[in-house]
Amino acid sequence: MLRALPHDTYRVEAVADEMAALAAIAREAPQVVVFSVPAKNGRDLARRLRGGANAVEAYFLAVVEATPENQELSSLISAGVHDFMRCPFPDVELLERVKAPERLLRWSRSVSKSRAFDFSTALDVATLRSWRSLGPLVAEDLGEMAGQPFAVIPGWPAHLSADAPCAAIPMSLAGDQLELRLSIVADAGALSGVRTSLLGDPAANDEATRDALRELANTAGGALKRAALAESITLTTGIPRDDSASRFPGKHLCWSLRLKDGTGCLAVVGEIRSRGNARISAAELVEGMVLAHDIRSEGGLLFVPAGSRLTATSASRLAAMLGPRYFLEVAPAA
């Protein structure tokens, strides 16, 4: 195989076994991986190689015996193998099989049709089923955490004061320049339940209680995100933080969640905010920013999808990979 592939075109590394292959894949991301299928457990080997670090974008070519069983070929394809060839094979076949990803990429470009999209109107979040039913959605997940169901009543709980403890989680729609903010406000009874049920300590201090309230906001955000996916909307969640309830009554979408035993009440509040994106150099990327568009290689391979919230590590890697001359549209860090 080393002799068959011209060294002025390809840089090839041959390894002796699976461990060496995984080490090589982790060391440098390959474009094509050619491997021989063993007599047994070929599917498992393919899965392990596909699961290796840096293997996600690789094209996998399996070399099988001259008369493989149909079931064997099906299992290899289901394990992530893209193509196969039978032994023995002429050099020219190996060369053409290795060229297959380039041909497929050219073909995909040739059949794609140009389209015109109207981006003049942003997504109307208020019309989404997931947004309109936010209270019941959140109540179901929080009820599982509390160990008992909530009664859901539209509107702000009249007895809750503006200084009641509150936690919020921001959720971005960077492509539409929108931020959804989901807040959880608790009365004294609900806080007591948080200390007892979630923390297991009725005397838990204020810091621990607020941390648990932020976790409730995080759980609520997860419920909304899952429901929005069913409507083909991908929300990027931020980090839950302490917030103020003073701006809520009568101004936003609100629900009262009352524990069935009558011991406490939570308020669930949804806000929709316009949030303009920024156009910055890749060198200026920082943790918390959300990408408004896909980042792809010149060949069309997807590096990072739109809506990704950058960690400190991913921001640093992108900055190093793209450099200061590459500009991106991002939603600022929440």
pLDDT tens-digit readout, 10-67 = 889 999 999 999 999 988 889 999 999 988 888 899 999 988 878 878 899 999 987 7
pLDDT score of 68 more than 90 = no
What is the number of structural domains in the chain? 3
Which pLDDT band, with edges at 50, 70 and 90, does 117 fall under?
A: very low
Question: Is 319 part of a structural domain of the chain?
Answer: yes
Of the chain, the percentage scoring pLDDT greater than 70 comes to: 93
Q: Is the pLDDT of residue 251 over 60?
A: no
Split at pLDDT 50, 70, 90, the class of 194 is confident
Q: How confident is the model at residue 257 (pLDDT cuts 50, 70, 90)?
A: very high
Token pair recorded at residue 59: 């094209």
Q: Considering 83, 109, 135, which residue would you say is the last residue of a domain?
A: 109
- pLDDT at site 306: 84
Q: Are residues 220 and 131 in the same domain?
A: yes
Contact at 8 Å (CB) between 331 and 174?
yes
Co-location of 104 and 70 in the same domain: yes
pLDDT at 111 over 80: no
Instruction: Tokens 């208020």: give the residue.
Output: 126
Contact 97, 1 (CB under 8 A): no
Tell me which residue range forms the domain holding 79. Answer: 18-109
The residues that bridge with 173 in the sheet, in sequence order, are 178
Q: Whose structure tokens read 């939603």?
A: 331
Q: Which of 227, 244, 274 is the last residue of a domain?
A: 274
Q: Which residues contact 152 (CB under 8 A, 6 or more apart)?
A: 135, 136, 139, 255, 256, 257
Whether a cis peptide bond, with omega within 30° of 0, leads into 154 is: no
Query: Same domain, yes or no, for 210 and 86?
Result: no
Clarify whether residues 161 and 39 are in a common domain. Answer: no
Residue 109: per-residue pLDDT: 67
**Could you tell me the pTM of the whole model?**
0.56
Asked whether residue 119 is assigned to any structural domain, the reply reads no
Residue 228 included in any domain: yes
Average pLDDT value for residue range 97-121: 68
- Within this chain, do residues 212 and 237 fall inside the same structural domain, yes or no? yes
The DSSP secondary-structure symbol of 282 reads: G
The answer to whether residue 213 scores a pLDDT higher than 80 is yes
Same domain, 182 and 152: yes
Q: Where are the alpha helices (DSSP H) in the chain?
A: 18-27, 42-50, 70-78, 91-98, 100-111, 129-132, 134-146, 188-193, 206-229, 312-322
Backbone φ and ψ of 227, nearest 5°: -65, -35
Phi-psi category of residue 250: left, alpha or beta, with phi > 0 → left and psi -120 to 50 → alpha: left
What mean pLDDT is reported for the chain? 86
Rounded CA-CA distance 256/272 in Å is: 19
Instruction: Give the Cα separation of 312 and 318 in Å (integer).
Output: 10
What is the model's pLDDT at position 268?
Answer: 93
Q: Exposure of 63 by Cβ count < 10 A (0-12 exposed, 13-18 middle, 19+ buried)?
A: middle
Task: For residue 321, tell me if it sits in a domain.
Answer: yes
Determine, yes or no, domain membership for 6. Answer: no
Q: Which of 109, 135, 154 is the last residue of a domain?
A: 109
Q: What CATH number is attached to the domain comprising 178?
A: 3.40.1550.10
pLDDT of residue 332: 78
Strand 302-304 vs strand 295-296: parallel, antiparallel, or unpaired?
A: antiparallel
pLDDT at 110 over 70: no
| pLDDT score recorded for residue 334 | 60
Judged by average pLDDT, the poorest of 45-59, 99-113, 159-173 is 99-113
- Is residue 117 a part of any domain in this protein? no
Do the Cβ atoms of 199 and 210 come closer than 8 Å?
no
More confident residue, 118 or 19: 19
Specify the 3-state DSSP secondary structure of 184.
Answer: strand
Contact 191, 285 (CB under 8 A): no
Residues 6+ apart with CB under 8 A from 211: none
Same domain, 176 and 257: yes
Q: Check whether 245 has a pLDDT greater than 70.
A: yes
Q: HSE, CB side, 13 Å, CA atoms: give it for residue 112.
A: 10
Q: Does residue 304 belong to any structural domain of this protein?
A: yes
CATH number of residue 282's parent domain: 3.90.105.10
92 and 222 fall within a common domain: no
Confidence of residue 116 (pLDDT cuts 50, 70, 90): very low
pLDDT at 322 over 60: yes
Collect all residues with Cβ–Cβ distance below 8 Å to 198 and sequence separation of at least 6: 145, 212, 215
